[in-house]
Amino acid sequence: MSLDSARNRALLEVRDLVKHFTRSQGLFSKPSVVKAVDGVSFTVNEGEMFGLVGESGSGKSTTGRCILRLIEPTSGQVAFRGENVLGFSRERMRRARRDMQIVFQDPYSSLNPRMRVGEIVEEPLVIHGLGSKAERLARVAELFDLVGLEASHLLRYPHEFSGGQRQRIGIARALALNPALIIADEAVSALDVSIQAQVVKLLLDLQARLKLTYLFIAHDLRLVEHICSRVAVMYLGKIVETGDTKAIFANPTHPYTRALLSAIPVLDPDTPRHRIELDPSSFDRQAPLRQLSPDHWVAV
């Protein structure tokens, strides 16, 4: 493990990322500020699957979107291969997105219903002006094959596909430009459990074949424990615990992580439940992350 970590190269480094949304409360009252992302830092190494977990409103999706600048962060740094993405011009950012792609949660609303699925997968190539028409079509056929779809389906529309197949189309589109990093934002949450297992297997296969790096945003801790090498747990805009997945699941230390883990239903009716309720007053929300073991950090 120590040899591995010595060889680890950071692909994505997020430092002190902040996104505050202001909401006006009416003409005469002060606008309220929602601190959706409130000083988040983490590093994703090349070739790893990094899990960003939390519940609704924890800021995990906003973090993902800020990295791609689909939402402009309020402050902080996002370094991709050592370059600060937040300083990029519009044009430079567009080019950078060839290397950083996103797969969305809802396979129904994230595909244009009026485009044929072949065109949907081809579109990134068109936008970035890559290849001739013939080359693009060959690439699309190759991508379809890669994600386990049949080339005979290229001319169909999204509504003709099941949820799992649509998510494969979304993955093919994300892969079209040969990215290094894929942000998977709850990419399998909307799928049935057996379909979810197939799509997760596809993501893992692709990771090995294409040397992809994933930022895997999810609320399902069981899944994250299963597939991510490292993980960060978010609660109300902050990372409360992060590090090696095995270390965290073996020794969850932050009260929120413990409450979250204890809430997961266990597949055995005879296992006694030790549900831990979170008492928000039991910890300091402003506590900085401190190191517990070589790759285990906790904010207490």
Partner 1 sequence: MDTLLDVQDLTVVFAGHRSGAASATVTAVDGVSFRIAAGETLGLVGESGSGKSVTALAILRLLQPPGRVAGGRVVFEGRDLLALPEHDMRAVRGARISLIFQEPMTALNPVMRVGDQIAEGLVCHGMAGWAEARSRAVELLEAVKIPDAGRRARDYPHQLSGGMRQRVMIAIALACRPPLIIADEPTTALDVTIQAQVLDLLRELRAAFNLSLLLITHDFGVIAEMADRVAVMYRGRLVEEGPVRQILRDPQHDYTRTLLAAVPGAR
Least distance from C-beta 7 to partner 1, angstroms?
28
Q: Which is nearer to partner 1, 43 or 198 (CB)?
A: 198
Q: Which is nearer to partner 1, 80 or 256 (CB)?
A: 256
Q: Which is nearer to partner 1, 72 or 268 (CB)?
A: 268
Q: Which is nearer to partner 1, 137 or 278 (CB)?
A: 278
Distance CA 38, CA 44 (A): 19
Least distance from C-beta 118 to partner 1, angstroms?
26
Q: Which residues bind to partner 1, rule: CB under 8 A? A: 55-56, 163, 192-197, 200, 219-223, 225-227, 259-260, 262-270, 273, 275, 278
Least distance from C-beta 256 to partner 1, angstroms?
9
Least distance from C-beta 105 to partner 1, angstroms?
13
Least distance from C-beta 272 to partner 1, angstroms?
12
User: Which residues are CB-contacts of 108 (< 8 A; sequence separation ≥ 6)?
Assistant: 158, 163, 166, 190
Q: Rounded to the nearest 10 degrees, how much is the dihedral formed by the CA atoms of 126, 127, 128, 129?
A: 40
Q: Which is nearer to partner 1, 6 or 193 (CB)?
A: 193
